Each structure stands twice: as structure tokens, then as C-alpha cells.
Amino acid sequence: MSGFSNSSLGCDCEPPKMRGIGTECLFVESQKQCRCPKGYKSPKNDFCEDINECLNATACPANTDCENLPGSYKCQCKKGFKVKNPLLDPKKFGCEDINECAEHPCTGQNTICVNTPGSYDCKCKDGYYPTSPTSGLYYNPKYATCNKEETQWRSASIALGVILSVGIIGVGSYVFYRRKGYQR
């Protein structure tokens, strides 16, 4: 049949010509037809192009990332998540949170692990405070531990109170003397 051939570039069907890797040539009911394989489309009936399934927000379930592949796609668990069952495809069944706290990652003294979706945080136990004043309640346990006393916070609070008191007294004195000077 003239105009109907498979080649390394695709399929030639006349009319029309359609090209593209994976283009399929068919002879259906005495008609020559070209069509794109599954996972491809031809918007203008001239060339097969990959369908990016990942543009569909529901292509993959929660806690997964979509990766477009030629003619297909796959869903992979996000960092901090694992396949619910190793025998199941995350594309259909999704992924669940890994409880990092089960591995006791918080090595700082007097710390506890708080599991969060896809991650974890290390926090001081109740009644304990971070040894570093810049670390806050959540910190990297490899660099700090927690102590029972809150001396750093107490010192910082006292210093701030003194600074504010001096400032308020200074501003108050200035206003008082300025007003007193205007009344003469």
C-alpha cells in the first residue's frame, strides 16, 4: 500500500501524515489510520507528543510526587514518607508518614522528639530550656542540650527590663522638664 509505512521516525499515512516515535499505523475497514500510542496525543493529527500526566493535580495521591515519563508517569513518595505497603504501587495507594522519632534522632540531653508530617522536631522536655539563647524551643539536638534552669532567659529578661526602665524614665524626665519649661 502506498503512503502507509512504518519507519524509525514513525508512521506515514496519507492523507494526513502523522509522525512521531511510537506512532501506530492501522488499516481498519479498508481505511488507513495513524494513531498515537497510549500516553501520547496528537492535537493537530500530525505528530504524536507525550501527555504530561503530572499536570493533572490528581494524577498521584497525597504525600507523593509525580514524575512524567515518556508515554507514562510514576508516583514516588515524598521525603519523609514511605509506601504504605511495599507490595502496593504508590500511584494507587499513596504513601504514609515515616515516624522518625522511632529511631530516637534527638540526641541532646533532656530532649524529646516530636513527629511531624514528613519530618520531626526536637524539643526540650517540659520544665527544661535550651542551653543556647538563640536556639528557641526547637533546635538542632546535635549542637545543644536542655537544662532545668532557665538562667539565660532570666538574665536576658532582667537586662531587657533594666533597659526599658531606663528608657521610660529618660523619656518621662525629658517630657516633664520640657512641659515645666513651657509653663514659665
Partners of 111 in the beta sheet?
124
Q: What is the DSSP letter of 54?
A: G
Residue 127 corresponds to which amino acid? G
pLDDT band at 168 (very low <50, low <70, confident <90, very high): confident
Domain limits for position 29: 8-50
pLDDT of residue 127: 87
- Res 14 pLDDT > 90: no
Please check whether residue 59 lies inside any domain of the structure: yes
Domain count, the chain: 3
Most confident range (mean pLDDT) of 11-20, 44-53, 111-120 is 111-120
Q: Is there a domain that residue 177 lies in? A: no
Residue 181 lies in a domain: no
Domain contains 161:
no
Q: Are 33 and 24 in contact (CB under 8 A)?
A: no
Q: Do 139 and 120 share a domain, yes or no?
A: yes
As given in the structure block, the three cell numbers for residue 173 are 524626665
Q: Which amino acid is at 102?
A: A
Q: pLDDT-derived band of residue 170, with 50, 70 and 90 as boundaries?
A: confident
**Is there a single domain that holds both residue 87 and residue 106?**
no
Mean pLDDT computed over 82-111: 88
Residue 6 has pLDDT above 50, yes or no: no
* Residue 129 near residue 152, CB atoms below 8 Å: yes
Do 143 and 112 belong together in one domain? yes
Task: List the end-to-end C-alpha distance of the chain, in Å, as a whole number.
Answer: 115
The verdict on residue 154 lying in a domain is no
